[in-house]
Structures are given as C-alpha cells and as structure tokens.
C-alpha cells in the first residue's frame, strides 16, 4: 500500500508537527490550509528539502465541495490517501449566554463537520484498498469540558463519539480509527496568552510544563504506523496529567 497522508490544518502548530513527522516516517503529505499559504508552503519546502514529497492544498474543510476537490487533487498529485489526520480546528470562546449562534456554528463546522466530511471522502479509497488509518485531533476539553468553551468542548467531544462509531463501522475493512486529545500545547496561540497565563496553566499540569507539538505528533505517528495495527476506537490523551 502506498503511503500518502493528508493532514488538515497543517500550516502551523500541531498540524505542522504532524505533517513533518509523517514525512520523516516516509509518507507523502498533503498539507491542507485555510488561509496561511506562505506557512503551508514553508512546510512543503521543508519536507521536499529532506527528500520527501508534499503538496500544499487550500480548502475549507467544512465545505463539502472543497473537501471533494482537495481529495481529487491529492490523489492526482501524490496518490490515494492512506492516512487521514483530522487536525483543523478553531476556538471562538464565550459563555453560552453571550455566545452567538454564529460562534457556535463556526466552531462546530470547522472542528466537527470537517471530520465527518474528510473521513467520508477518505473512506472511499480506503475501503477499495482494504486498509487505512483515520486519526482525529480532539482535546482534553472534549473529555472534561471547559467553562467558556461549550462550542469547542462539544465539537471535540463529538470527535470522540464519532471516532468510536467509525471504528465499529469500518473495522472489518481493515481501517483503524482513533483520536488524540492534547492538553495545553505550546503553539503560536498559547504564546499570545503571555507568560503569566502560561505559568498559571503549567502549575495545573502534573509534569509542570506545557507540551510540545512534536509530542502530540509522535503519538499520531505511532497510530499511523504498522505497530498500531490492532488499536482502534481509542482516544489517547496527551496532556502531561492536566486532566487528572
């Protein structure tokens, strides 16, 4: 089976680390992005410079037509997708009483509808190939909830339920479906919070520090490998003990 991975939201942060990890593991990588074309091309350039194959693909993963076009493009340029990583996600926080319907819909569409659309598109080829890996990035917020993030937590909890259901639906076809639930990870988004907020967050984590995108990517890399062939329907929490 060819080794072609598609990573949504792969231009920066956790998605970028996952794309680079899978490339180092021998996958050709589709680097999906919504708006950061320069950042996505940097990821592609880094992969190509290391001897790998990659292509940047702009698509709104909450739009069915753009998702279908994305899968057509990656199939033509790299080959059929054998590993899908649903990583794209946004936050738009607020207390429910003050949260607009647009805030709710935007987060659910980007974080959860996208997982449904991309998984459905990927399954067509995976079922024909009688194998594949689907890995979705959830969050500890989807496991334990978080005040001010009802939309985000609901979307990430939905991913966990979707993962379990899909594992049961397609296991007989040789396809594994798993989720990874990161905790507080050091990215551009967390850097913008400031040292005081980051220090306070670190004190809530058993290991006393934020995680790195690469630490999440290593779990995704394992789930995408042959070594994880008997693992499906699981959510692996990568949070340094935050949710304990």
Give the number of other CB atoms < 10 A from CB of residue 241. Answer: 12
The residues carrying an active-site annotation are 152
Residues 6+ apart with CB under 8 A from 171: 177, 232, 233
DSSP sequence for 155-208: HHHHHHHHHHHHHHHHGGGTEEEEEEEE-SB-SHHHHTT-HHHHHHHHHTSTTS
Per-position b or e across 210-229, b if 16+ CB within 10 A of its CB: bbebebbbebbbbbbeeebe
């Amino acid at each position: 089976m060819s080794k072609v991975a598609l990573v949504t939201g792969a231009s920066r942060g956790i998605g970028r680390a996952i794309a680079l990890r899978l490339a180092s593991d021998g996958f050709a990588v589709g680097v999906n992005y919504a708006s950061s074309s320069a950042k996505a091309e940097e990821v592609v350039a880094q992969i190509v410079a290391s001897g790998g194959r990659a292509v940047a693909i702009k698509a709104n993963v909450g739009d069915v037509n753009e998702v279908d076009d994305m899968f057509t493009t990656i199939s033509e340029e790299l080959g059929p997708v054998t590993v899908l990583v649903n990583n794209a996600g946004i936050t738009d926080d607020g207390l429910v009483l003050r949260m607009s319907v647009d805030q709710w819909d935007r987060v659910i569409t980007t974080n959860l509808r996208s997982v449904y659309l991309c998984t459905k598109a990927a399954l067509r080829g995976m079922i024909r190939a009688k194998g594949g890996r689907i890995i979705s990035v959830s969050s500890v917020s989807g496991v334990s909830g978080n005040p001010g993030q009802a939309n985000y937590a609901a979307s990430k909890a939905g991913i966990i339920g979707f993962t379990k259901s899909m594992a049961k639906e397609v296991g007989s076809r040789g396809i594994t479906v798993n989720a990874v639930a990161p905790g507080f990870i050091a990215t551009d988004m967390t850097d913008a919070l400031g040292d005081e907020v980051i220090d306070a967050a670190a004190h809530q984590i058993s290991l006393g520090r934020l995680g790195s995108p690469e630490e999440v990517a290593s779990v995704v890399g394992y789930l995408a490998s042959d070594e994880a062939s008997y693992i499906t329907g699981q959510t692996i929490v990568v949070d340094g003990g935050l949710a304990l």
